[in-house]
Chain A
Amino acid sequence: MSNNNKNYTLMDAKKAEEIVRSNVKKRRRKDIVLKSIGQFAIFVALSFLVFLFVSIFAKGIPGFFQHYVTLEVNLDQKRLDPKGDLSPDSLYSGDARKLVLEALYKEINPKGRKQKKAAKKILSSNAEIRVAQMVLENPSLLGKTIPITFALDDDIDSFLRGYIKRDTPESDRRINNTVIKFVDVLVEKKLVNYKFSDYILSGSASRSPEIAGVKGALIGSILTLFVCFILSFPIGVATAIYLEGFAAKNRITEIIEININNLAAVPSVVFGILGLAIFIGVFGMPRSIPLVGGMVLGIMTLPTIIISSRAAISAVPPSILDAAYGVGASKLQTMFHHVIPLAIPGMLTGTIIGMARALGETAPLLMIGMVAFIVDIPNSIQEPATVLPVQIFMWADFAERMFVNKTSSATIILLVFLILMNGVAIFLRNKLERRW
């Protein structure tokens, strides 16, 4: 330790202090620069978020509304109900279309075939079905002349919103001058009004944007999520319980654990391939049904549920286990009576987050055929259906201008569901989860 007995002279403290003071300003400036870059980065990221939401809401909110026209329709019994038995068959084969058009002609007085042809473009193709349905629900209306509100065709709707400009040359416009003249007449007579859409929430898929809605897709989503939950929650929780509580630390357990981590990393589109090749290819299940969709999403969600449930179980302090073992409870009794009740909030949180992800998932469902154009609203998990995100994907591809708004509206609906689910998860985490 000879070197310890001597002190080597380092730089003089006063001189060092001087040097430090001389460049401290420059260093402080650098510090502020880094801080500002950090703030800027967060600002940019959050602006993206705001930009995304604003661009979707700006288009989506108008999508919940549409233009209607109110017409006095004469519900002539003979023409509406040719068979006279008020059966759906008879009503749908009746001449509702003519009656509606007559009511329209009365307001705008088209002359000649050309003008009448133009006038026909004003109303949605759904108008006659609406009349037939009204009568079907309420036969006492027959024979009366009552005001009925009809959706305007999407092109007229676009025109009234200003998406189709009056000063565009007629040849470049989707609607011609005659139609515009008629629409002006209707507007002047105060027959046109703008109100919350009857169709966006209760209609199902359609090529006509004015009557397209998300009901079918929404029910499809709910059915698919139901299957997904039924499959993944019990299996995921059972796996977590087994791995945390009972699995011996051996090669097989290790393989299972590696597998679960790998599955969490596999791109979602691969699960679609699994569904296509195994469920549809090998087991011969039908395409497009929520059962298969739910199974695929369930397998995809499984790792999330297993991982979060394991975390919830292992967060229960060992002192509680010791207490249970101490009074002579078996391993299983300890698990089911003490650990699981305490871990349930954590498990549920993970499950809801996994479900929310499954709700927004699109790619694997495309592969198993849930992208089909399905008009009927599904009644069971074995009927062809589509889901909300896939509906968004399909609508995003349609050319009609009004589908942009509809797509954005559907996106808002999807986001609302996701926010609700995540809100519940956050609530559970904050209110029910115990911190040890």
Chain B
Amino acid sequence: MITFYLFLVLLLIPTIWFFYGNKTAQKIKLKNGKLHSLIHYYGLFVLLYSLLPSIFVYIIILVGDDILFSYLINDYIPEKIKNSSDYNKVIVMTQIQNILDGIYFGEQPDWVKLASEKIEHWSNLSLLVNYSLTISISIIGGFLGFRRINPDLRSRNSVETIIIYVLGFSSLLAILTTVGIVFSVIFESLRFFAIIPASEFLFGLTWNPQFEGAERAGSGQEGLASYGSVPLFVGTFLISFVALCIAVPIGLYSAIYLSEYASKKERSIFKPLLEILAGIPTVVYGFFAALTVAPMLRSGGTLIGLDVASESALAAGFVMGIMIIPFVSSLSDDVINAVPQSIRDAGYALGSTKNEVVLQVILPAALPGIIGSIILAVSRAIGETMIVVMAAGLAANLSFNPLDAVTTVTAQIVTILVGDQEFESAKTLSAFALALTLIVITLILNFYALHIVKKYREQYE
């Protein structure tokens, strides 16, 4: 609640400055007869001076204090614990945090209590500093801006420059996000590769991170955990392949029909209907796959004497295929429509049937674009998570048989990272290595697909 009031105050002070600035500018105008800019720009000028620095400081302290505390608290952790073999900073911090939150059972060591008291003290202090600092900066900033008001102040230009900087700053966030993703993944991956050699990760044929606990406890089961990611990638590509077998023919023929044969009215009905398929949340598809499709395939398989696993690659791939139909159909439709009418006319004027124009003239011309759209669909299928988590299971079998249960990269990432994890263990870190590979693959596919589509567009411009 107190944060809410602080926000009100932080908004109120600049507003007051705004009106005060306006009023002063008005007076100057009455006295001097002229001002460089319109009156409200003087108000805005003061407002920005008051608002921006205080918000900046507020965010810095809000984000920064926890990092600072976690650094300072090191002094309060006994050397004995820091030097012990299973020392884990995250666990210690959670221990301290739990005391702050009032969730603990039994007696806690004295140093933990002391540390939590210290942290509580620091947080209160930091809160106080943050509030008083931001409020005073808001007032002082406004005052400094106010002092600068005079008839020659080019307030409009200044205000515009500041706003453009603010706009530009927000566009940097896109970069910050990418940097955040890349760094968080790369750092953890590097730590993973320090434990497990990259060659084992990339070429190993068994994926079995489950025995981590046993290994750490030194129960003599060393070597049971293995991190060969080949089965995961085979599973991913197997499921994607099944999905493509569904999505490419259906999507492509739908696109051909919609763009060449359908009347305007049919097109306006069917195209949005198909696109609904892409708008359904993936968790719904996952539920559908697990609840309806998988049992159906299983009983259908039994009927013709095939043994279909209850969590088969086929079920997951089938449903994923349904999901990506619109990616193929809509993008191919766009690409086919981008083939100029004049080329169609040339075909028809020679006496071609629609079939001949489509298959012999338009498709060859649109082929690069269609391949691009298929690659985009593949990259989408590879990154898809919920369907495989719910329908494909977690058995890391190295199998090319779509009737078997397989697992995928994304499904493993989710299983490993959901719930509590120890940040230090090879198991947790392996998820980051998987994510890194996933990002690299999807970005390459995406880059390549967009490149093809772009080149293709240029051909007709």
Contacts and interface: CB of A to CB of B under 8 A. Distances in A.
21 contacts: A34-B354, A38-B260, A44-B250, A45-B329, A59-B291, A235-B173, A239-B173, A246-B164, A261-B450, A262-B178, A266-B442, A267-B382, A268-B385, A273-B417, A284-B93, A331-B160, A361-B281, A363-B389, A396-B290, A396-B390, A418-B280
A391 to B, nearest CB: 9
B443 A266 contact: yes
B253 A362 contact: no
Interface string A30-45: 1101110111111011
A418 B284 CA distance: 12
B280 A42 contact: no
Nearest to A243: B171
B167 A306 contact: no
Nearest to A277: B184
A414 interface: yes
A260 B174 contact: yes
Q: How large is the interface on B (under 10, 10 to 19, 20 to 34, 35 or more residues)?
A: 35 or more
Interface string B382-426: 111110011000000000000000000010011001110001000
A367 interface: yes
B438 interface: yes
Interface stretch (B27-35, B198-206, B355-363): B355-363
Nearest to A367: B417
A393 B257 contact: no
A225 interface: no
Interface in B409-453: 410, 413-414, 417-419, 423, 431-432, 435, 438-439, 442-443, 446-447, 450
A270 B438 contact: yes
Contacts of A35: 257, 261, 354-355
B174 A263 contact: yes
A360 interface: yes
A418 B279 contact: yes
Determine the main DSSP class of A at the interface with B: helix
Interface in A258-282: 259-263, 265-274, 276-278, 281-282
Interface of B: 63, 66-67, 70, 93, 156, 160, 163-164, 166-168, 170-175, 177-178, 180-181, 184-185, 188, 249-254, 256-258, 260-261, 270, 273-274, 276-277, 279-288, 290-292, 322, 325, 329, 351, 353-356, 358-359, 379, 382-386, 389-390, 410, 413-414, 417-419, 423, 431-432, 435, 438-439, 442-443, 446-447, 450
Interface stretch (A49-57, A204-212, A341-349): A49-57
A270 to B, nearest CB: 6
A266 B379 CA distance: 9
A155 B436 CA distance: 46
Nearest to A269: B385
Contact of B171 (A238, A273, A361): A238
B274 A278 contact: no
Contacts of B170: 234-235, 238-239, 242
Nearest to A390: B283
A52 B443 contact: no
Nearest to A262: B443
Contact of B168 (A246, A269, A367, A408): A246
A109 interface: no
Contacts of B413: 269, 273
A393 B291 CA distance: 12
Nearest to B272: A426
Contacts of A27: 353, 355-356
Shortest 7 CB-CB contacts between residues of A and residues of B: A267-B383, A38-B257, A360-B281, A277-B184, A41-B253, A242-B167, A363-B385
B414 A396 contact: no
Interface in A328-377: 330-332, 356-357, 359-363, 366-367, 369, 371
Interface in A401-415: 404, 407-408, 411, 414-415
A263 B447 CA distance: 12
A186 interface: no
Interface of A: 20, 27-28, 30-31, 33-35, 37-42, 44-46, 48-49, 52, 55-56, 59, 234-235, 238-239, 241-243, 246-247, 255-256, 259-263, 265-274, 276-278, 281-284, 299, 302-303, 306, 330-332, 356-357, 359-363, 366-367, 369, 371, 389-390, 392-393, 396, 404, 407-408, 411, 414-415, 418, 422
Contact of A360 (B282, B290, B292, B379): B282
A75 B430 CA distance: 59
A35 B172 CA distance: 49
Given A261-B446, A366-B417, 19 more contacts: A42-B254, A42-B257, A42-B274, A45-B254, A55-B291, A242-B164, A246-B164, A246-B167, A247-B168, A261-B450, A265-B443, A267-B385, A267-B410, A270-B439, A299-B177, A302-B174, A330-B160, A392-B283, A418-B280
B254 A242 contact: no
A367 B420 CA distance: 10
B283 A360 contact: yes
Contacts of A359: 281
B172 A256 contact: yes
A284 B418 contact: no
A382 to B, nearest CB: 10
A243 B325 CA distance: 33
Contacts of B438: 267, 269-270
A278 B184 contact: yes
A408 B292 CA distance: 12
A40 B253 CA distance: 9
A392 B284 contact: yes
A34 B283 CA distance: 35
